[in-house]
Amino acid sequence: MDAAQGLLEELPDGVVVVGADARVQLVNAGAERCTGIPREQLLGQDVRRALPLQDTTGRDWWSMTDPFTGLATRSGHRERLLVLPGEHEVLVTARYVRPARSAPVQRVVLQLRDTEARRRLENDHAGLISTVAHELRSPLTSVKGFTSTLLRRWERLSDAQKRLMLETVEADADRVTRLIAELLDISRMDAGRLEVKRQVVDLAGLVRGQVERAVATGQPPERFRVAISAALPEVWADPDRLEQVLSNLVGNAVRHGAGQIDVSVTPDPDGDGVAVVVDDEGEGIPPEHLGVVFTKFWRGSRRGGTGLGLYVVRGLVDAHGGRITVGASPSGGARFRFTLPAAVPDFVQLPGTPLLDRRSGADRRQLRLSLPDGVDERTPAAGTPGTTTGAADPSR
């Protein structure tokens, strides 16, 4: 019994055990902290008077639940927010212990938790709503303003003015779409329902595509340097999700970095997959912030946006069975490095069947995108920093 009592004292949550006579038999230290009531005032007392719990409308919780003489089929109550005198809130879960089915209650075990964790969750939700509202207001205001101008002054606007307004509307619509996609991904990740649709992907082509888009939006081609190994293992992944990851990392390097942006794709030296590294020459990320870069709402110093992009990136890489790290690039800027395994999914290789050549057949070849003129593309040599040697990554 002493050992059991010792374990109860170490529990972070409060535990109160009540006998069939409704008197308190056991109270641990967590219950004292949670309720603010010394155990001497609880032990041996009628729990209905010692812990006069009420719901948020002021109704007596013990009268409503009636654990001792109520329905014999009940086994307890799920966690509920209840109130003690003095408006002290506490989260309560009840468990009814019966010696047999439908037998009278032998003991009632109460688990008590402080509401601090709940408040933090509510604050996170409030922060998310505030951030989303702020991020949506700007593009929607722009869309509303430009569409109203186009409708009312169409005949008086030049073709160049119309084109500029429509391009702005399209860009703002894309911004809203990306934000909604991030929110949906966060919801799926938090609920454990994020799915990836695996297929053979041309990772090198996805990287070239991201650089091509950046150049198309006005970035100088000479700002990018792409290094892709000649022989890469076959990777099964969700191309849409990987495009989302690359778009976020390359976009961050463009917006928050400076100077040259290096993107390399090489075999992972520590596994049988691939490693993708994105380096920039900006100010980098302070060492004290490296541990929170992939958390919700992290923006860093003088960095805009919702602070959700990198949180989504980590979730997508994790969903593929990969790993992402952040550190300092050789030039002092930021380095993001993620790996993807090269394992073939179970649904492709069935037990007892020969391994098929998935790269054969014209219908299975993938189009190789070419980089815009001016982009420096090279094949990384063995031992080149940031490509094939893991020791060059300071975040490892």
Please give the average per-residue pLDDT across 82-105, as a whole number.
87
Closest to 77 measured CA to CA, from 87, 91, 89: 91
Share of the chain above pLDDT 90, in %: 28
SS3 151: helix
More confident residue, 244 or 372: 244
- Give the Cα separation of 350 and 289 in Å (integer): 45
In this structure, of 74-88, 254-268, 353-367, the range with the lowest mean pLDDT score is: 353-367
Angle ∠(234,238,243) on CA atoms, nearest 5 = 100
pLDDT at residue 381 greater than cutoff 80: no
Using alpha carbons, list the distances in angstroms from residue 299 to 49, 213, 290, 311, 318: 50, 24, 12, 11, 21
CB atoms within 10 A of CB 63: 9
Closest to 281 measured CA to CA, from 302, 261, 254, 310: 261
Closest to 31 measured CA to CA, from 19, 20, 45, 42: 42
Please give the average per-residue pLDDT across 21-47, as a whole number.
91
Contacts of residue 128, defined as CB under 8 A and 6 or more positions apart, other chains included, come to: 296, 297
pLDDT of residue 343: 66
- Give the Cα separation of 266 and 261 in Å (integer): 16
β-pairing, 376-378 with 224-228? Answer: parallel
Global pTM value: 0.57
pLDDT at residue 385 greater than cutoff 70: no
pLDDT of residue 390: 35
More confident residue, 100 or 118: 100
Q: How buried is 344 (Cβ within 10 angstroms: 0-12 exposed, 13-18 middle, 19+ buried)?
A: middle
CB atoms within 10 A of CB 2: 6
Closest to 324 measured CA to CA, from 262, 246, 379, 391: 246
Please give the average per-residue pLDDT across 269-280, as a whole number.
89
| Angle between helices 309-319 and 159-191 in degrees, nearest 10 | 50
Please give the average per-residue pLDDT across 61-88, as a whole number.
85
More confident residue, 338 or 36: 338
Contacts of residue 249, defined as CB under 8 A and 6 or more positions apart, other chains included, come to: 278, 313, 336, 338
Contacts of residue 82, defined as CB under 8 A and 6 or more positions apart, other chains included, come to: 53, 54, 55, 56, 61, 89, 90, 91, 92
Dihedral angle computed from the Cα positions of residues 295, 391, 335 and 237, in that order, rounded to the nearest 10 degrees: -70
Please give the average per-residue pLDDT across 126-130, as a whole number.
70
pLDDT of residue 214: 87
Evaluate whether 146 touches 165 at the Cβ level (below 8 Å). Answer: yes
User: If you compute the radius of gyration of the chain from its CA atoms, what whole number of angstroms results?
Assistant: 29
Contacts of residue 312, defined as CB under 8 A and 6 or more positions apart, other chains included, come to: 182, 185, 186, 189, 244, 248
